[in-house]
Structure 1
Amino acid sequence: MPIDSKIGSLLLLLVILYPITIVNAQEVEDEREFDYVRGSEKGPVHWGKLHKEWSVCNNGKMQSPIDLSDSRVEIIHKSKKLSRNYKPCTAIIINRGHDIAVHWEGNAGSIDINGTSYSLQQAHWHSPSEHTINGKRHSLELHMVHKTTKPTSKHKIAVIAVLYKIGKPNRFLSKLVPNITSLVKQENEHRHPGVIDPREIHMSCRRYYNYIGSLTVPPCTQNVIWTISKKVRSVSLDQVKLLRKAVHDHAQKNSRPLQRDHLRDIQLIGPKKPN
């Protein structure tokens, strides 16, 4: 093949792979380098000092989580619900040391936000919840992480969050309990449960909070679109205890402290009022 043709082919390959590289570069590479312990040199107040690439954790103006206070929320009425198009897909369950995560290995579907499609990548849990509503912290918070490779999109990551209070066992978690139990203290180990249907993660898509924030673990990447379901679901105390027991001692309470909202726009999206 002529040299010019080889260069042309290489440039084409880089153009195709470039968006994917941008997205993947925003994920934590070594998840053992930080913790959640108060007073620890690797705790949340020091994340931004541990690595130059993590500096935004301390000096960013769009950090998450935040308090969703009625006094700060703008109520928006829309006729359309949040558009979700999930489907069953093969997945693995991983003990990442600081949390338990479900990673879908193929096309598990997507959500649509303002005309941009975000593909579902993984889901993981924080206990207690990271976001608060009017200052109230709940027992558990689920994050469904989505990404887009659309080159023109300023927001490469979108996260849907669901909050849980102690009550009846959560059906989705109940199906995962045997695999999570086998991963207790097994950092970087994973299980292959087969097909997992993300549609079984129930959330209200009629009323939800919306704001622009960040990842809640290093490198605390900003310009993340957050969607937090207003309806609080239930989870059993035993399920919460299992998620805490499975991870490292420093991550049994793996919630980042609240961050300043810096007067960001926070919306509560609800159904359009009838005429």
Structure 2
Amino acid sequence: MIFIDFYNIKIKDFDNSHKQIIIYSKMNRYNFSNLSCEDKNDNELSPHLSIDELVYKVNKSAKSSKNRSKNMIYDYARSNEWKWFVTMTFDPKKVDSFDYEIVTKKLSQWLKNIHKRKCPNMKYLFVPELHPTSGRFHFHGIMNNIDELEILDSGHVDNDGNIIYNIGSYKLGFTTATKIRDTEKVAMYIGKYVTKELSAVAKNKKKYWVSKNLNIPSVTVYEGDMEELDFGVHGAIINDSEYDMVNFKQVKKGDGYIRYYELKKKE
């Protein structure tokens, strides 16, 4: 079996109708098992680093961790069907919502209890949000297969006229739930809660919670000639006869770039 050590093209198949093509201007290492000792130690904090170098390394590591979390959240969100967008807060009389350890344990236990007692096929993805002014934590999530929960009409609607529901089975605080209209938009939105500030508080800790029954995208990587690929946004790899390109984004990375192409199967 031949292993690709480097790649600059990644294709993610989320389902039978959607995929994402990512093109990197610089090569990425794929087979990390072949890293030399020198490579492996590159991320360690050397005692000989200056203060400026140390700060740079720490910030770079935090940014990489945040981006990895966002990418995983996006992949889970895009690869599954969702029905509910949920926000869960904590009653300060019951839970100290300033404490990350406490709120994450409370959420985890609630999810385990619901899965065991009421919704064995429940699918979920939850992300914490650190409120910028109060400093309290709450959670946003997307869910499916929760018909067994007590979902109640609150009597209110959001700005778009969608009915706001409450989850009666949640006793730790307050909830809102709205039906999801566009899974792709939700996937783009929910990862934004993983901010630099949250990553600093949750360093080396979980930043998202998912059920074990979620689908993940199939991922294929290639090594391609950038001169052949980089002859325009609508290069040959994008012009798939079965798909339409529905979104394109280019982001700067160091002195290079990453291009993201979102494709949807033609009707």
TM-score of the superposition, structure 2-length normalised?
0.24
Larger Cα-atom Rg: 2
TM-score of the superposition, structure 1-length normalised?
0.24
Which structure has the highest helix share of the two? 2
